[in-house]
Every structure is written in structure tokens, then in C-alpha cells.
Amino acid sequence: MARTFVGAGRRRQFFPTLMHRAGDLVYHQGYFGVSNDDSAIAINPTSVDRPFVQILDGVWDLPQVFQGANIVNGARIFAAPTHIATSLTLYPGNSIPSGAVAVGRLMATYVNGATYARVVLFGPENQHTAL
């Protein structure tokens, strides 16, 4: 293996400045991903602080779904690139807010009012260009 290899690129670590719960869809520094576990805020991080792990791909049951209609399996799902303390709100293709980008596709039909949407994330190489 090349001596310059760093990692597979499917996870990011950083010291959080906002609280996140395990399973939240999080945007940070240009990347969408799911929080691995609950985070603790590190305003002035030291070597003893535990970094936050953001998982950039995979299939997830994500909360915070825009309500209003059933959404068919395979539909693109969008989120606004905003760093907030809760899970990002998911939007189907027919109600995209300004500035939102595609972050994944539904892996199962979403029934209006359901608590979670099963979404496969596009991964870091496709998030801003996935059509």
C-alpha cells in the first residue's frame, strides 16, 4: 500500500462546537453525514476531548422529514447545507428550499407522518452533483 494513504474517506473526525445526537444528519465544513454517537461540545478542545465522528455514507433511518405527502422509493432527498444543533430537515424533490442540495435517495417509500425516512447517502464524492 502506498505510504501516502491516510484513510478510506468515509468518516470525518472533528471537535464539535454544537451538540448532536447519534443518528442526526449533520452538515459541517462542506460535508453531509450522520453522527456516530452523541457529541459533547469542545469549545477549547484538548488532547483528552473525544472527537466527533461524522459518517459520510451508508443507509440510515433519518428523522426530521418534511411533512406533506408520501414519497416514493428511489426519490432524491435534499437538505440545506446549514450547521445546526439538531438533525437537518429532509426535503423531497418537489419542495426543495433555496440552496438545498441532494444528499441521498429513499430506500423505502416514505409514508406521510412517519417518524423516519430510510435514506442511502450519496457519499462525499456525489453530494453536490447527484441527479
Q: Per the domain annotation, does 61 fall within a domain?
A: yes
Local confidence pLDDT in tens for the 131 residues of the chain: 577 666 667 888 887 888 888 899 999 888 999 998 888 776 666 655 677 889 999 999 998 888 778 889 999 999 999 988 889 999 987 788 888 989 999 999 999 888 999 999 997 776 654 44
**Grid coordinates of 117:** 425516512
- Per the structure, how many domains does the chain have? 1
**The predicted structure's pLDDT at residue 128:** 57
Q: Per the domain annotation, does 76 fall within a domain?
A: yes
**The predicted structure's pLDDT at residue 77:** 92
Q: Per the domain annotation, does 5 fall within a domain?
A: no
Query: Across the beta sheet with 91-92, what order do the strands follow?
Result: 58-62, 117-121, 101-106, 76-79, 91-92
Q: Per the domain annotation, does 65 fall within a domain?
A: yes
> Could you tell me which residues are beta bridge partners of residue 90?
65
Domain extent at residue 41: 11-121
Angle at alpha carbon of residue 125, lines to 115 and 128, rounded to 5°: 65
Q: Per the domain annotation, does 126 fall within a domain?
A: no
Q: Per the domain annotation, does 18 fall within a domain?
A: yes
**The predicted structure's pLDDT at residue 48:** 59
Q: Per the domain annotation, does 3 fall within a domain?
A: no
Radius of gyration of the chain (CA): 15
Residue for grid cell 441521498: 104
**The predicted structure's pLDDT at residue 49:** 66
Q: Per the domain annotation, does 128 fall within a domain?
A: no
Please name the amino acid found at residue 80.
A
**The predicted structure's pLDDT at residue 47:** 57
